[in-house]
């Protein structure tokens, strides 16, 4: 019988992991909300961010926060280039064409990464002191606290950006009705590029946190967390920003609890079982609403 303390300990681990999934899921849901595209290359943008963070820490000797900022800037630029080069020409094409292109971009980033940095796994540098805190039998690492706080701050900044800034209002208008937004003077092309830039920057931050959490990175590291973040976005309601946050945290806690109960080999299977159940029971997700579509 597992004690309450052990379950709470797993909850702490799950929140740290879930915050990483939530950051990646936000990019999925933002892009889908505006251009209705499932950007399956998003997990590989996370990989690019992880390598940029590794480069900043090991080569440039940046501390944690400048390193994560450097990774976010590089990934944001990469996101804009990907959108302009691969997705913009297909904006009026069928969804399946855009989806196939996204898979192609994903493979390009993965194997292009192998060509540039090599296929071997690299150890991520330890940027946090090994300070431990114990409260009521629950152990916290200093790094866990910083990671969780960083993720929450980034989510709050995104919420502020979407709700209270000019570009955020343009995003919401484009998401609601792109043609009407265009008629009202919204620069849709700039808005979409900004959406890709913000989503890619958040994925890069998640990549740095993921590298620190698991202590290793490789060019194919974005596949599994990218798919799990997609599950998180669907769970919360794809296209809905608060849903992506909640979905990521729920998925991270669920995985951690499954591992804590001694079934760590099933943690990936449980994540995709959640996706199947959501699609069967409530396809619109936790925060989504069922909408009728004219045919």
Q: Quick check: is 89 in a domain?
A: yes
Q: Quick check: is 29 in a domain?
A: yes
Q: To 5 degrees, how large is the angle CA 134–CA 140–CA 143? A: 145
Which two structure tokens, joined as six digits, stand for 67? 């390193």
Q: Quick check: is 116 in a domain?
A: yes
Q: Quick check: is 201 in a domain?
A: yes
Which two structure tokens, joined as six digits, stand for 254? 């669920």
Residue 117 confidence (pLDDT): 93
- The mean pLDDT value for 33-60 works out to 94
- Predicted model pTM: 0.93
Q: Quick check: is 91 in a domain?
A: yes
How far from the centroid of its chain's Cα atoms is residue 266's Cα? Answer: 22
Alpha-helical segments (H) within 165-240? 166-176, 178-183, 188-214, 223-236
Q: Quick check: is 60 in a domain?
A: yes
Paired with 140 in beta bridges are 133
Q: What's the domain range around 193? A: 19-222
Which two structure tokens, joined as six digits, stand for 102? 């996204």
Q: How many domains does the chain have?
A: 1
107-156 confidence digits (pLDDT tens):
999 999 999 999 999 999 888 888 888 877 788 888 888 888 999 999 99
Query: With 90 as the cut, is the pLDDT of residue 5 above it?
Result: no
Question: Phi/psi zone of residue 239: left (φ > 0), alpha (ψ -120 to 50 degrees), beta?
Answer: left
CA distance linking residue 243 with residue 197, whole number of Å:
20
């Amino acid at each position: 019988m597992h004690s309450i303390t052990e379950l709470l300990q797993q909850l702490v681990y799950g929140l740290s992991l879930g915050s990483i999934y939530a950051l990646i899921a936000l990019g999925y849901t933002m892009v889908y909300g505006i251009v209705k595209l499932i950007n399956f290359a998003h997990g590989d943008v996370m990989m690019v961010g992880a390598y940029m963070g590794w480069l900043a820490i090991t080569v440039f000797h940046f501390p944690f926060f400048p390193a994560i900022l450097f990774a976010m800037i590089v990934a944001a630029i990469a996101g804009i280039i990907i959108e302009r080069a691969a997705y913009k020409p297909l904006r009026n094409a069928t969804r399946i064409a855009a989806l196939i292109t996204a898979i192609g971009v994903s493979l390009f980033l993965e194997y292009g990464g192998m060509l540039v940095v090599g296929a071997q796994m690299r150890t991520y540098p330890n940027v946090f002191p090994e300070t431990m805190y114990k409260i009521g039998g629950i152990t916290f690492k200093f790094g866990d606290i910083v990671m969780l706080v960083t993720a929450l701050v980034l989510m709050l900044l995104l919420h502020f950006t979407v709700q209270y800034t000019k570009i955020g209002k343009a995003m919401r208008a484009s998401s609601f009705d792109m043609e009407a937004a265009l008629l009202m003077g919204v620069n849709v092309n700039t808005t979409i590029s900004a959406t890709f830039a913000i989503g890619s920057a958040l994925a890069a931050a998640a990549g740095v946190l993921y590298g620190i959490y698991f202590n290793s990175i490789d060019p194919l590291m974005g596949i599994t967390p990218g798919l799990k973040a997609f599950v998180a976005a669907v769970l919360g309601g794809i296209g809905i920003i608060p849903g992506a946050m909640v979905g990521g945290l729920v998925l991270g806690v669920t995985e951690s609890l499954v591992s804590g109960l001694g079934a760590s080999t099933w943690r990936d299977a449980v994540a995709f079982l959640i996706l199947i159940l959501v699609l069967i029971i409530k396809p619109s997700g936790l925060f989504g609403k069922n909408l009728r579509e004219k045919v």
